[in-house]
Amino acid sequence: MTALHDLTALEQGAAVAARVVSPAELVEHYLERVQRLDAELGAFVTVTAERARQRAFAPLGPGPLAGVPTAVKDLNTTAGVRTTFGSAVYADNVPDVDDEVVARIRAGGLISLGKTNTPEFGSPCYTENDVAPPAVTPWDTSRMAGGSSGGAAAAVAGGLVAVAQGSDGGGSIRIPASCCGLVGLKPTRGRISGSPTYGEITGLATAGPLARNVRDAAALLDVMAGRAVGDPFWAPESRHPFLLHCEADPGPLRIARFAEPVIADTEVDGECLAAWADASKLLEQLGHEIVDIAVPMPRDAVPFFETCWAVLTGLSTVTLDDDARGKLRPLTRWLGEKGEQVSGPEFGLALGELRRVAARTLETLAPYDVVLTPTLASPPLPVGALRDDEDPAADFEAQKRFTPWTSMWNVTGSPAISLPLHETARGLPVGVMLAAAPGREDLLLALAAQVEEAAPWEDRTPPCW
């Protein structure tokens, strides 16, 4: 018998529109699952059950996801709802404004059940903080959900919400998508507004969707996409809804591939290489040309990325007093102090060099339509495997070895998507990553939908399902 959470987000929206099911029924169904399952999954920091129930009886509008339960990452400000940024420093913080992403999700008629778990200030690629239990993959709750959108991924993969928003500055949507067996899309730089705070000054990070299938991800992208008045930069508007591109034939494409790590010397797990090789064969069977290429981004770009990453953390710590600094996690304190010590000219030079590296990389890739790599260097690791409170520098290096491809596309500003095409013999999910030129989510989604149709994964569900 089909349960409500077996339906895709779009199917749920259609059922609400046809009055086959009510938003209130969906909310109660998912709240029961949150109450029963979240203690083990660590998906939520804050559950807003009563607000969700009230919202379920309010006018929601005509959108394809209207009435569908979702959740908001705890890095996004939500008016009247606790927003911790994954930090004990902000454990009692209640903003008085919704940011633009939250406002658009609300305008799209989705119903938030609360705030999803994230590491402190969204910095690490694992979700382990001091305000909530670790976020774990529902496929094996001893293993990490990834980060920094680990709570969002655990919620979607565990059937606690139908679809969820994440954010990605170095892989933070695609990493948990791979760990949790989901579709995770990092859009083009400027595709989704950072209003009203505009706190991400490097251009590395953006919001994006996490979903069980490509069409749900495209539908949530449609909800979030678009510029706000005052945005410093933005992607060109799409002529058609991104969901419509999922029905398009991408045509025969020229797809570059490589599996050599970009940002760190590391051994790549055989399961990740098998996923990448199998995806290559599938793409060839679908009529695409696969071309092996060398790594298109130079390793000497890494220090400039790290400077910018440290500055972003430093912006979160520089105004804190000694008492607040004492509440920070060791990695945050170490990285924030590094960022605070970067001079203005040094930061400007690093950001300028990243722009030049991005331009050269995109020039190198211009002959190709899409690029294929593994998403991660390993299946999901045990909780705590990367974290090293005694040696934050070693922690940071371990994160780089786990995620040696994802940040490249944050540097170029390109859209990139992780697809759950593979699972290990133990049943752990393994993603593969496709990326396209900036502004080409249309092509990326058309190809991803074609791949999903050829090798569907939606019937694979974790033990808690």
Given 148, 167, 280, 414, the catalytic residue: 148
Alpha helices by DSSP H, 372-440: 392-402, 407-412
Is the pLDDT at 76 greater than 70, yes or no?
A: yes
- Interaxial angle between packed helices 441-454 and 214-224, expressed in degrees from 0 to 180 and rounded to the nearest 10: 160
Position 463 in a domain? no
Residue 22 annotated among the catalytic residues of the structure: no
**What is the per-residue pLDDT across 159-211, written as a single tens digit (0 to 9) for each?**
999 999 999 999 999 999 999 999 999 999 999 999 999 999 999 999 999 99
Contacts of 124 (CB under 8 A, 6+ apart): 147, 148, 331, 386, 387, 395, 399
Contacts of 20 (CB under 8 A, 6+ apart): none
Is the pLDDT at 285 greater than 90, yes or no?
A: yes
Position 92 in a domain? yes
Percent of the chain with pLDDT over 70: 100
**What is the per-residue pLDDT across 89-132, written as a single tens digit (0 to 9) for each?**
999 999 999 999 999 999 999 999 999 999 999 999 999 999 99
Say how many domains are in the chain: 1
Position 134 in a domain? yes
Q: What is the mean pLDDT of the chain?
A: 98
Q: Band the pLDDT of 387: cuts 50, 70, 90.
A: very high
Strand partners, 256: 291, 371
Percent of the chain with pLDDT over 90: 98
**What is the per-residue pLDDT across 361-383, written as a single tens digit (0 to 9) for each?**
999 999 999 999 999 999 999 99
Residue 378 annotated among the catalytic residues of the structure: no
Position 78 in a domain? yes
What's the sign of the alpha-carbon dihedral 382, 388, 394, 399?
A: positive
Domain that holds residue 421: 4-454
* Whether the Cβ atoms of residue 415 and residue 445 lie closer than 8 Å to each other: no
Position 461 in a domain? no
Q: Band the pLDDT of 259: cuts 50, 70, 90.
A: very high
Count, in order, helices (H) and strands (E) of the chain. Answer: 16, 11
Given 87, 112, 149, 172, the catalytic residue: 172
Backbone angles phi and psi of 143, in degrees to 5? -115, 155
CATH number at residue 239: 3.90.1300.10
How far apart, in whole angstroms, are the C-alpha atoms of residue 361 and residue 355? 10
Residue 128 in tokens: 């382990």
* Whether the Cβ atoms of residue 38 and residue 97 lie closer than 8 Å to each other: no
Position 119 in a domain? yes
Average pLDDT over residues 338-352: 98
Position 460 in a domain? no
Residue 112 annotated among the catalytic residues of the structure: no
Given 73, 186, 338, 400, the catalytic residue: 73
Is the pLDDT at 360 greater than 90, yes or no?
A: yes
Is the pLDDT at 402 greater than 70, yes or no?
A: yes
User: Which pLDDT belongs to residue 347?
Assistant: 98
Q: Band the pLDDT of 1: cuts 50, 70, 90.
A: low
Average pLDDT over residues 249-256: 98
Q: Band the pLDDT of 221: cuts 50, 70, 90.
A: very high
Position 462 in a domain? no
**What is the per-residue pLDDT across 325-335, written as a single tens digit (0 to 9) for each?**
999 999 999 99
Q: Write down how long the chain is.
A: 465
